[in-house]
Amino acid sequence: MELLKHFKKKLVLVFITALFLFLVFTVKTPSTYNSIPKPSGPPSACSMRISEQTIMPLNNTKHLLVSAYMDQRVKDFDIRIIGIFRRDSIQPLHCFFCCTGYLSKTTPATILQHPDNFGFPFVTTDVMCQIPQNCNATHVTLLTTPDKESPSTDQWLPIRNKDTVGQKEENMQFDFTVCISNLFGDYNNVLQFAQTLEMYKLLGVNRVVIYNTSCGPELNRLLQSYSDEGFVEMVPWPIDKHLNPSRGWLHSEHGGDLHYFGQLTTLNECIYRSMERSRYVLLNDIDEIIMPYQHDDLMSLMNTLQNQHPNVGVFLIENHIFPKKHFEPSGRFHLPQWNGVPGINILEHIYRRTPILENATRFHSMFVGSFMSVALQGSLTLEQLNVDKRLWDFQENLIPNGTKC
């Protein structure tokens, strides 16, 4: 009997010991992994609030966010966020990332205002961020406080260019991309725009990126047709829904919140949008064509320039103005498919003024032809202008291709 009692006591002791060990291994062990960020939900926790807008207001600030790009060219930084910030309301910000499977802790943001603000209260701004360790970041947003448990009201920017970082030049998707900064004010110069886009094609351009605030109905249909074929990438730019954008470049003369509908923001955004995708990026205004004179296309021109200047990454281009009031009407350019099309026929404009950038004459093999400029034409007479028929060299191909308008 005593032996049976002794056995029962041992059995109870073994059971208690086993239960204690079970509790140790199931409860205590996870506490040794407190350094691993606790998942705040599945990846959809942030993807459900991805911004679908080109321009996104930043909560608790007067700032706007545009896009985020992988950019590891600056030491200790991984991400560049392009935004439009109010200059008198800059405050500390913190980068908050959506990683694959969890939400990260915040990292401090470095805010870099662009120096060219022309006196306007809002300025193009870059925000530089570092991705936390062990975070495969897919999206990012900015916070005004360093710690936040749930980003219930924040929207996320997708991180672009992740899949193209380090892409070799021979694997570039495009040779030439043209960035046209802004369309606004119901611009509807359809004929000139169609001729310009067709000239780009003849010169070797593969892609045109256009930031569109507003344009006329005929031009909208034209751009849609080019977009459908993949030549034009239309980026909605509703800056007028967020700010009072200026139609001029100087705040003291034109007023408003932001220089020229955010021209500098869109051009910078287009550069990063094209990074690792396009070998060359051309920054043009709506009424400009970059034209080679000693070469038949842009690629042969750039091959020559790169051989002459192997360490040069940016080329300045000489600018010529074709005044609006001086032109050469010619019946051969008035074809049926262009009858009734709104706009200017650039083939009729062969008179240009001398260069604005007199010190840029060393780039004599290429210039920007700015057509029908009223503000810069002044009161020049026909005798003060030079005859330039370079566009006529392309008319046999240009005229038949202008049927989309």
pLDDT, tens only, 233-248? 999 999 999 999 999 9
Contact yes or no for 275/143 (Cβ under 8 A): no
Assess whether pLDDT exceeds 60 at residue 13.
Answer: no
Q: Phi/psi zone of residue 186: left (φ > 0), alpha (ψ -120 to 50 degrees), beta?
A: left
What are the boundaries of each domain within the chain?
56-160, 169-402
pLDDT in tens, 336-353: 556 677 888 888 888 887
Residue 341, pLDDT score: 77
Neighbour-count burial of 48, counting CB atoms closer than 10 A to its CB (0-12 exposed, 13-18 middle, 19+ buried) = exposed
**Residue tagged 């970082």 (tokens):** 165
Q: State how far the Cα of 211 lies from the Cα of 219, in Å rounded to an integer.
A: 14
pLDDT in tens, 140-169: 999 999 876 555 557 899 999 987 666 667
Query: pTM for this structure?
Result: 0.81
Residue 152, pLDDT score: 58
Six-digit token string for 72: 């590891």
Assess whether pLDDT exceeds 50 at residue 35.
Answer: no
Task: Tell me whether strands 137-143 and 157-160 are parallel, antiparallel or unpaired.
Answer: antiparallel
Q: What helix, strand, coil percent values describe the chain, rounded to 5?
A: 35, 25, 40
Assess whether pLDDT exceeds 90 at residue 94.
Answer: yes
Assess whether pLDDT exceeds 50 at residue 365.
Answer: no
Assess whether pLDDT exceeds 50 at residue 362.
Answer: no
**Residue tagged 């006329």 (tokens):** 216
Cβ neighbours of 47 (radius 10 Å): 13
What number is the average pLDDT over the span 130-138?
A: 92
Least confident of 81-85, 291-295, 346-350: 346-350
Neighbour-count burial of 288, counting CB atoms closer than 10 A to its CB (0-12 exposed, 13-18 middle, 19+ buried) = buried
What number is the average pLDDT over the span 95-110?
A: 90
Number of C-alpha atoms within 13 angstroms, CB side, residue 35? 4
What number is the average pLDDT over the span 365-394?
A: 67
